Amino acid sequence: MRTINFRAPLALAAVAVAATAIAACGSDSDSGTTTSDSGSITATKDTAIAEQVPAKYRDAGSLSVASDASYPPMEFIKEGTNEIIGADPDLATALGQVMGIELNLENVPFDSILAGIEADKYDLGMSSFTDTKEREQQVDFVTYLTAGTSFFEKADAPSNVNTLADLCGKKVAVQKGTTQADDAEAQSAKCAKAGDPKVDLLVFPDQNGANNALISGRAQVGMADSPVAAYQVQKTKGELKLTGEDYGEAPYGIAVPKDSGLAEPILAALKNLIDGGQYEAILKKWGLENGAIDDPKINGAID
């Protein structure tokens, strides 16, 4: 995997396509099943790969894809609509084109997606999931991007946070069910053990709630995946800024039910998109080129 640095300015195309207020992108919008229009970024069906898709899914003609649409630029709601747009929806569209099957996105709370996949409620999960060994106990993953964690804060109210160790005694906003929530909770225990104040952890159902807590001053610092934090900072035009050092680079993965037979054709379709240039085009559209990988894997967790 490549070294990632999402602190570079995001592509102007991403801003133009997705210039929507933070509060307008929430997963509290009406849920709908929709596939994002990926514009001119299209792929061609590969018959050999399509034949790898298990018959029960081929016969159904579509796959349901759970995604928490509150995490721009990865997945969010297009202003004034119920349409889910972003890098993950565009990638889902292209993967479906290669496999000859439609991938339909559903707006679902992040912390319920993996359980929903286990319960056969959804066929896939594409929602900026970090592929971890713990999560691999529930589902399989096909890796497709790398990202770390960034800290961000109000520009006029420095938090003096540079690393996880600096979170002791701070009010920290995170999204429920994320690796950032786990990291902040683990750090809080370390703070207490060292005799320092615990982390005042504010956990929200979606990333919009965490962002708004920071903007309103209820939290001193936010934590999110690097591309998401960078996107939020750029959108606020100076109200927020990145702080401290990124940490924990790890792969994103498409969540797939265990023993479903879907991981292999999805991996093959992703490699097809990498070879065909559509993968790179999608990442460039959303300013994510620095997170590109060239060797996707099934269950590629590094922790």
Could you tell me the CA-to-CA distances from 215 to 12, 43, 157, 211, 259 in Å, in that order? 23, 40, 10, 6, 43
Instruction: Give buried/exposed letters for 136-170 (b at 16+ CB in 10 A, else e).
Output: beebbbbbbbbbbbbbbbbeeeebebeebebbbeb
Q: Are 286 and 144 in contact (CB under 8 A)?
A: no
Residues 147 and 6: their CA atoms lie apart, in Å, by 8
Q: Where are the domains of the chain?
A: 12-147+251-291, 149-249
pLDDT at 29: 35
pLDDT at 129: 96
Domain 12-147+251-291 has CATH 3.40.190.10: yes
Residues 267 and 96: their CA atoms lie apart, in Å, by 12
Q: Are 103 and 116 in contact (CB under 8 A)?
A: no
pLDDT at 213: 96
| Entry pTM | 0.79
pLDDT at 38: 40
pLDDT at 6: 43
> 149-249: CATH homologous superfamily?
Periplasmic binding protein-like II (3.40.190.10)
Burial of 301 (0-12, 13-18, 19+ CB in 10 A): middle
pLDDT at 302: 87
Low-confidence spans in the chain with pLDDT less than 50: 1-38
pLDDT at 96: 98
pLDDT at 15: 37
